[in-house]
Structure 1
Amino acid sequence: MPSVMSRSPAQRSAVLARRIRLLVAVTIGYNVVEAVVAVSAGHAAGSTALIGFGLDSVIEVSSAAAVAWQFAGRDPQRRERTALRIIAVSFFALAAYVTVESVRTLLDSTGAEHSTVGLVLAAVSLAIMPGLSYAQRRAGRELGSRTAVADSKQTLLCTYLSAVLLVGLALNSLFGWSWADPVAALIIAAVAIKEGRDAWHGDACCAPIPTAGPATTCADQCCGDNR
């Protein structure tokens, strides 16, 4: 079977589009499960961090759904701008929620209880999300899809949140440092705002692969973090 690089530009685009749809489906499926587990465990332990993590999964599902909607059409490029705006709004919503909940947690004197389920979930997500984000970003860059690259950043942000959640829950369980998680989460909120601005302005990626002539990847003529 010929490799993706050995195919014509049109064939490569079709293969990469199918790959992105598969990655989006995996992202949505995992995050639905993650959201249910995190919100349930958060309510049980009284952890705003866990509940926030679960709601982040819901937002990530909306971002992935926007990419799925784009590539469900016959001409994904025509839907790209709208999909990018949906992803950007998802980032802004996440930043707003994390900021509000972090401040509330800092002002609340009641700490969350130990949550074994939360610790396991954060560790599993920390192991899975980097690879999934890399696969999304690579396929998106090769196809020249700004939305796929922007969604990969949403997945990567989930990795950061997983690390924050894991450290926060661990410090709270071991030392009773209930302030550790919300402080780190505020940093994540700042990152989310930056990524949202990039997605809104379409800075996630550059030119798409042409349908004729020499194959050109997004990485060949990109900006920002793609250089």
Structure 2
Amino acid sequence: MTALLTPARTNVLRRRIRIVVAVTITWNVVEAIVALLAGAAASSAALIGFGLDSIVEVLSAAAVAWQFAIPDHERREKVALRVIAVSFFALAAYVSVDAVLSLTGLREPGHSPVGIAVAGLSLIVMPFLSWFERRTGRELGSASAVADSKQTLICSYLSAALLVGLVLNGLLGWAWADSAAALVIAVFAVREGVEAWKGDACCAAPVVELTGERGLAGHGRPGLSDGGPCVGASASEAAPHRVEGRLR
């Protein structure tokens, strides 16, 4: 089904993006501070990596906020995607080095009840924020908003990996589990960084792969159909003020 995206609806969607971005930034600033302090105290590569991922999420959300600070937000789309991608790569590099140091015995991670609590709370908060921003971004046709929502969703997966690693280390003394969780974080970060750099974040295929959600039906709309290109022609340039299909 095809529906026109009116100026009034566009303004509503932009306002929603700004709200969810503000909430995401606030949550992740608190999360980053707690995770980094707890990670440093426990010498946990996974917890430090999770804290750094929260900082990446802040940068990612800030890039989207910067993009939507002007009416013609499509002009800033590619720059916002590149900022998100570089943030992912920086996270992956640091976490990988820290995990290797732990695996080689140069660092011995300790038990962190605070880290377990942070990971548990993140598993509750982040999926909702991701869903809300992804749904809004797809309706608006914004690749950067969808990319940021995927980063938020990845944070949920990382929370699960972190939780498993910290619990195994705390209960069974499996120090390697902490490093393994950190490397999982790094792998996800590289993958998402590559997709954001290429502008694949707004395409349906990656979103379906991560979430199992069938997004907008293509109907000839580049970037929002089955793997069409996103960067080089914004969603609005491909089909101005038009949304194709329904979110399942």
Aligned to 2:82: 85
1:157 aligned residue: 154
Inter-CA distance 79–110: structure 2 relative to 1 (3 Å threshold): closer
Q: 1:72 aligns with which of 44, 69, 72?
A: 69
Q: Does 1:120 align with 2:117?
A: yes
Q: Does the Cα contact within 8 Å between 1:9 and 1:211 map onto a contact in 2?
A: no
Summarize the Cα distance change of 1:186–1:110 in structure 2 as closer, same or farther, 3 Å threshold.
closer
Residues 75, 192 of structure 1: alpha-carbon distance in 2 compared, 3 angstrom cutoff? same
Which of 133, 138, 142 lines up with 2:135 in the alignment? Answer: 138
Structure 1 segment 17-32 matched on structure 2, within 5 A: 17-32=14-29
Q: Give the Cα separation in 1 of the matches to 2:73 and 2:191.
A: 25
Residue 10 in 1 paired to residue 7 in 2? Answer: yes
The answer (yes or no) to whether the contact 2:46–2:178 under 8 Å persists in 1 is: yes
Q: How far did residue 145 of structure 1 move?
A: 0.3
AA of the residue aligned to 1:161:
L
Question: Is 1:170 matched up with 2:164?
Answer: no
Distance 1:181 1:25 in 2: 31
Pairing 1:39–2:36 present: yes
- The residue type equivalent to 1:29 in the other structure is T
Q: Which amino acid aligns with 2:121?
A: V
Give the whole-Å Cα distance in 2 for the aligned partners of 1:134 and 1:203.
Answer: 18
Superposition CA RMSD, Å: 2.2
**Does the Cα contact within 8 Å between 2:161 and 2:184 map onto a contact in 1?**
no
Query: Structure 1, residues 38-62: CA drift from partner, whole Å, max 9, x if none?
Result: 1111122222222221111111101
> Hey, what does 2:243 align to over in structure 1?
216
1:47 to 1:190, Cα distance in 2 relative to 1, 3 A: closer
- Which residue, out of 99, 104, 108, partners 2:105? 108
2:206 aligned residue: none
CA contact (8 A) 2:101 2:107 kept: no
State the TM-score, normalized to the length of structure 2.
Answer: 0.80
Q: Which runs of 5+ in 2 are unaligned?
A: 203-222, 225-234
Question: Structure 1: which 5+ residue stretches go unaligned?
Answer: 221-225
TM-score (norm 1): 0.87
CA distance in 1, matches of 2:3, 2:146: 23
The farther-off stretch of 109-118 and 75-84 is 109-118
Report SS of the residue matched to 1:216: strand
Sequence identity percentage = 60
**Residue 201 (structure 2) aligns with:** 204
Q: Deviation of residue 182 (structure 1)?
A: 1.6
CA distance in 1, matches of 2:10, 2:55: 29
Count of residues paired in the alignment? 215
